[in-house]
Amino acid sequence: MELNYDVVVIGAGHAGCEAAAASAKLGAKTCLVTMDMNKIAQMSCNPAIGGIAKGQIVREIDALGGYTGIVTDRTAIQFRMLNRSKGPAMWSPRAQCDRAKFICEWRKILENCDNLSIWQDQARELLVDEDTKQAIGVKTYMDVTIKAKSVIITAGTFLNGLMHIGKTKLEGGRCAEPASKELTESITKHGIVCGRMKTGTPVRIDGRSVHFEDMQEQPGDSVCQNFSFIEKTHSLPQLPCWITYTNTDTHERLRAGLADSPLYNGQIQSIGPRYCPSIETKLVTFADKDQHQLFLEPEGVDTQEYYLNGFSSSLPIDVQLEALRKIECFRDVQVYRPGYAIEYDYFDPTQLYHTLESKIVENLYFAGQVNGTTGYEEAAGQGLIAGINAALKLQGKDSFVLHRDEAYIGVLIDDLVTKGVDEPYRMFTSRAEYRILLRQDDADARLTERSYNIGLATKQRYDYWLEKKEWIEKIIGFCKNFSVKAIYINDALESLGSVPLKKGCKLIDLITRPQITILSLEKHIKALEQFLSTIPNRREEIIEAAEIQIKYDGYIKREREIADKMLRLENIKIRGKFDYENIKSLSTEARQKLIKINPETLAQASRIPGVSPSDINVLLVLMGR
């Protein structure tokens, strides 16, 4: 049997779902291949979306016209805005989700997406035209040939996946799901380099066996916000998470089992995620700690299953259970399944362009954990960009690339293709040099118009942004022009912990004070209250966005100037203009790295580890700059 499409996407995880939806919405006839339609967008690890920097990525996906934020809002059972005590550049939304309903919502979206078909099967072989070195489709285990003009690989942890529980090894991409055993080999035979990485997941606990009275309750925010700029529904009940701690007895039992840990007996050779270590890694790395914090997170509103965040492990089952029962709240604990580690294949991302297309095989794209990343959000962001570019290229249109000053997704992809990875890559706010410009509240300002111009973001989404933009400007204009007299406002200022005025001022000068917010002044200034009452919808969201622009105006302008200076280097194209091997004034390391990465611009070259400022100056001189 033979099927024919414009784009075929291999794997229906978070990257695959966003890639398939994006290419289909842009008009490409798309096929999404998945082993199990009931596991579409499965949350393989914790049942949560967002977090530090990850929440910003989800807002960006939504602003671009993706679906992760919408699905999260529809299935959220707890919302929290992290880092509220810090500046707005650090605020990061996070939501616990109902795992089963998350899958159902994604499947509903995909099954009703024009130009998108789903094929339940397993990809076995990448098909490449040897004469043109172009990807032309895949073959499956059902002996179906799916011809396509572009292929997007989003296979997650399934490529030669091997799970470890103590000395027990099981082939699989996830618990009770088979590994993909031949696809990697059919890709690497064309000269694409692969490696091995490791990740892990914790034990899943039966809530009926937990003594919640011995735990600390962690409720969500009292006001439940949204990830999506257009979706405004929260239909599910909001549930708490729970906090507890390991103890010295737990640690003693875990240490006694380290000899059987695949991480320490040589059974696992690959590198795991630095910022999400297993419990055994914590014991070894932080040997002086008597306790480690654990979070018990609900998997949904209709299940007793709980996820134990902070207790990822590949130790034998009996060691995991006995160690848990040393914790008072888990003294009678029963589990649904143990934690395990998993090794899988990934492909060196420096072999990709910023579009996520392979430099070696044309029309072949990679997105998600196969690029060496970890996390649903990082995967979804890559999938969206791969899907967009696959469709645009088929239509003969310019590629869609996000720069480091435009999006965390741009930072993520630039880090991958420029620096590569030596461990599973996780996004943090510290990785972005323009954090003030990349806030979670302004993702629509940065990205929606760009996406609308290529045909991905809908008119509804674009109009929402235009309305919000208009009202932000109106609020700022009102605050600049409205005068406040000291006699009428000083009592209010003192009640808010702010210094009284000696003379009148403009309202905007009050709002720049750290103790003052627009909403806190609303009830004290009648004209302000009347003005704000005319905002037709999304009142709090719009007021907050305007306030951030007022309070941080100087910082935003300064960072914009710095970013614009770097953009001058971004505009200097160098790919194909140099024979690096013969530029002897470059350092040996710089020549080697520039040959390997073959950067598109001088700015990208400047970010390559091993390329010094003096090497960049050499290239500038050779270009006559």
The CATH number linked to 256 is 2.40.30.260
Quote the CA–CA distance of 152 and 126 in Å, as a whole number: 10
Q: Please state the pTM of the whole predicted model.
A: 0.96
Beta strands in 314-407 (DSSP E): 335-337, 340-347, 364-366
Quote the CA–CA distance of 504 and 541 in Å, as a whole number: 29
Q: 233 phi and psi, to 5 degrees?
A: -120, 140
**Residue 109: CA count within 13 A, CB half-sphere:** 25
What pLDDT shows up at residue 625? Answer: 61
Q: Is 2 helix (H, G, I), strand (E, B) or coil?
A: strand
- Locate 430 and state its tokens: 């510290």
Domain boundary among 306, 339, 372: 339
Beta bridge partners, 8, equal 31, 151
Beta bridge partners, 335, equal 205
Q: Which residues of 227-266 are buried (b: 16+ CB within 10 A; e: fewer)?
A: bbbbbeebebebbbbbbbbbeeebbebbbebeebbbbbee
Check whether residue 142 and residue 29 sit in a common domain: yes
CATH of the domain at 587: 1.10.150.570
Kindly state whether residue 272 falls inside one of the protein's structural domains: yes
Q: What residues of the chain score a pLDDT lower than 70?
A: 625
Check whether residue 317 and residue 381 sit in a common domain: no
Question: What residues contact residue 520 under an 8 Å CB cut-off, 6+ apart?
Answer: 496
Helix, strand, coil proportions of the chain in percent (round to 5)? Answer: 40, 20, 40
Quote the CA–CA distance of 402 and 15 in Å, as a whole number: 17
Q: Which residues of 51-75 are buried (b: 16+ CB within 10 A; e: fewer)?
A: bbbbbbbbbbbbbbbbbbbbbbbbb
Check whether residue 335 and residue 362 sit in a common domain: no
Check whether residue 142 and residue 14 sit in a common domain: yes
CA angle 324, 329, 331 (to 5 degrees): 55
Q: Is 168 helix (H, G, I), strand (E, B) or coil?
A: strand
Alpha carbon 130 to chain centroid, angstroms: 35
Quote the CA–CA distance of 127 and 125 in Å, as a whole number: 6
Q: Which domain holds residue 267?
A: 201-339
Residue 182 DSSP class: S
Kindly state whether residue 589 falls inside one of the protein's structural domains: yes
At position 492, the amino acid (one-letter code) is: A
Quote the CA–CA distance of 28 and 22 in Å, as a whole number: 9
CATH of the domain at 49: 3.50.50.60
Beta strands in 280-415 (DSSP E): 293-298, 305-312, 335-337, 340-347, 364-366
Beta-sheet strand order (sheet of 92-97) = 48-50, 92-97, 76-82
Check whether residue 406 and residue 475 sit in a common domain: no
Check whether residue 382 and residue 304 sit in a common domain: no
Check whether residue 410 and residue 474 sit in a common domain: no
Domain boundary among 339, 362, 382: 339
Quote the CA–CA distance of 391 and 363 in Å, as a whole number: 10
From the DSSP assignment, how many helices (H) and strands (E) are in the chain? 21, 21
Quote the CA–CA distance of 444 and 429 in Å, as a whole number: 18
Position of tokens 């989404």?
461
Strands 116-120 and 30-34, bridge-based pairing = parallel
Quote the CA–CA distance of 222 and 304 in Å, as a whole number: 24
Domain total of the chain: 4
Domain boundary among 500, 533, 557: 557
